[in-house]
Amino acid sequence: MPKPLRDFLFGTTTPKKELTDALTPHRSFADVILPATTRRAIDNALTQIKKSDLIFHTWGLAERHESGLGLAFNFAGPPGTGKTICAEAIAFELGKRLLVVRYAEMESLWAGESGKNVAAVFRTARETDAVLFFDEADAIASRRFQSVTQGYQREANAVVNVLLKELEEFDGVVIFATNLASNFDPAFERRIRTHILFDMPDEEARAKIWQVQLHARKTPLAPDVDFNDLARKYVVAGGDIKNAVLKAAQMATTEPGPDAEKKIHQRHFVAGIEDVLSSKKVMEQSIFEGDGSSAPQLDPGMMAGISQAFDQLAQNDRSMGEDLRTFIEKTNVLEAQLAQFPQILNHFDEAQRVAREGLKSEIIAQLTSFHTQSQTDFARLDEQLRAENHTLGKRATMAIALGASLGGVALATAIGAILLALR
Ligand SMILES: Nc1ncnc2c1ncn2[C@@H]1O[C@H](COP(=O)(O)OP(=O)(O)OP(=O)(O)O)[C@@H](O)[C@H]1O
Ligand SMILES: [Mg+2]
């Protein structure tokens, strides 16, 4: 659609921002240590991808089914458990590029454009035959707003709608990664073929993760290094181990002596992981600090308890998601019932109107009968009055006649008296 005002203000040749980063994968499954169940699920996913050509093209199922041919996977799990690195390893295994979506660029300044950007991202993936990767996918695939009152809600709903449509039509590989899977829109969840859970690594896996963070030949290790000991003592995710290794290496470089003789010792790894853990504590503590003026003193035991509680919360996340979904369904039923309320109120109004009309007619009938009765009574009274008036009239005439005769007598007497006096 032409946008003359935009073109006038900003010109028609605004530089086009890339919606995706196309990465050539370097890390493979040799770099990833996964719990057995996660590894099996990933292997299954890979088999599905590798055999999709056989199923859909050689066996002709693509000609029978027009949609739902894509291979959409969701990697869900706590931070630092290897979701992003696994997406890269899948692309590596398939010999394809990894197309990482850039959300900041997707959210368009122009209302209604974000949906188009989602469509453009899928188009690029199709054209370049790349593995499409939505990292931190809850940012885009979260639940749609039930009632839309703000522009941004309309935009967010439109984005999810476009995403659902594109997913339905896409016939390539798309991976979503999230640590907030319960925020996903249920319709979106249904379109994802396989959900893969990334758990925290166990002790054995942790020991191997320490190992794979180093270069097999080049990283100089002192003989005292014991990864089993570190794995036993520190229950952490792969992301924390990676950060600890980098810190340990940095510390080792600051030791005195020539670089060629420097080695990473166990104490460096211990200091590295302790540093990572205390940084995490600072982050956790900052949640409670508010403005920082009255930070409570939290002992390590208490922090461990809180951290355990958070882990428990994360585990319950999914079941809470289910509860929330039931709640939303119930709310929808309630909303439907509420929607019928105006109709019920109309019925009520109608009944009230009929009752009011009935009462009005009754009053009018009463008044009419009263009026008729009163008219009859008045007529009778009038007649009586008339009759009485008649009698009164007669009496008045007689009184006047009597008065006149008495007046005449008095006048004659007076004249007689005057005449007598004058004589
Ligand atoms: N299972 C693992 N095996 C080997 N290395 C791992 C593993 N998990 C994490 N790592 C290391 O930690 C780094 C961070 O992991 P990654 O980014 O894949 O975690 P993530 O699950 O995507 O985390 P987030 O949810 O924060 O995005 C990786 O680059 C890798 O070096
Ligand atoms: Mg990640």
**pLDDT tens digits for range 258-300:** 999 999 999 999 999 999 999 988 877 655 554 444 444 445 5
> Lowest mean pLDDT: which of 4-18, 74-88, 332-346, 373-387?
4-18
What are the residues facing 134 on neighbouring strands?
176
Predicted pLDDT of residue 192: 85
Predicted pLDDT of residue 345: 77
Predicted pLDDT of residue 71: 86
% of residues, the chain, pLDDT over 90: 36
Question: Which atom number of ligand 1 is nearest to the Cα of residue 135?
Answer: 27
| pLDDT, tens digit (0-9, with 9 covering 90-100), for 113-144 | 778 888 999 999 999 999 999 988 887 877 77
Protein residue with its CA nearest to atom 27 in ligand 1: 79
What the block records as the tokens of 47 is 């088999």
What are the residues facing 72 on neighbouring strands?
174
The span from the CA of 207 to the CA of 229, in Å, is: 8
Predicted pLDDT of residue 285: 65
Q: How far does residue 82's CA lie from ligand 1's centre (Å)?
A: 3
> Lowest mean pLDDT: which of 8-17, 95-104, 126-135?
8-17
Predicted pLDDT of residue 377: 78
Pocket test for ligand 1, best of 73, 74, 81 (most atoms within 8 A of CB): 81
Protein residue with its CA nearest to atom 12 in ligand 1: 239
| pLDDT, tens digit (0-9, with 9 covering 90-100), for 26-48 | 999 999 999 989 999 999 888 98
Name the average pLDDT for the chain.
80
Average of per-residue pLDDT across 408-419 = 69
What band does 23 get if pLDDT is binned at 50, 70 and 90? very high
CB 182 within 8 A of CB 317: yes
> Lowest mean pLDDT: which of 196-200, 226-230, 409-413?
409-413
Pocket test for ligand 1, best of 84, 206, 212, 235 (most atoms within 8 A of CB): 84
Predicted pLDDT of residue 376: 81
Residues 6+ apart with CB under 8 A from 164: 185, 187, 188, 191
Q: How far does residue 84's CA lie from ligand 1's centre (Å)?
A: 6
> Lowest mean pLDDT: which of 118-127, 173-182, 403-412?
403-412
What band does 193 get if pLDDT is binned at 50, 70 and 90? confident
% of residues, the chain, pLDDT over 70: 75
Q: Which amino acid is at 411?
A: L
Give me the phi and psi of 320, to 5 degrees please. Answer: -65, -35
| pLDDT, tens digit (0-9, with 9 covering 90-100), for 348-404 | 788 788 888 888 888 788 888 877 887 887 788 878 877 776 666 666 666 666 666
> Lowest mean pLDDT: which of 7-21, 105-119, 132-146, 164-178?
7-21
Predicted pLDDT of residue 8: 40
Q: Cβ < 6 Å from ligand 1: which residues?
A: 32-34, 79-85, 177, 179, 198, 201, 209, 212, 238-239, 242
Kindly tell me the sign of the dihedral angle through the C-alpha atoms of 386, 388, 389, 390.
Answer: positive
Q: Which domains does the chain have, with CATH numbers?
A: 4-197 (3.40.50.300), 203-284 (1.10.8.60)
Q: At what angle do helices 266-289 and 300-339 cross, to 10 degrees?
A: 50
Pocket test for ligand 1, best of 32, 34, 39, 85 (most atoms within 8 A of CB): 85
Q: pTM of this prediction?
A: 0.64
Q: Which residue has the higher pLDDT, 55 or 22?
A: 22
What the block records as the tokens of 422 is 């004058």
Residue 243, Ramachandran bin (φ over 0: left; ψ between -120 and 50: alpha; else beta): alpha
| pLDDT, tens digit (0-9, with 9 covering 90-100), for 302-338 | 555 555 565 566 556 555 656 666 666 677 777 777 7
CB 24 within 8 A of CB 47: no
232 pLDDT exceeds 90? yes
Q: How far does residue 318's CA lie from ligand 1's centre (Å)?
A: 21
Predicted pLDDT of residue 184: 79
CB 295 within 8 A of CB 284: no
Q: Which residue has the higher pLDDT, 198 or 361?
A: 198
The span from the CA of 269 to the CA of 227, in Å, is: 9
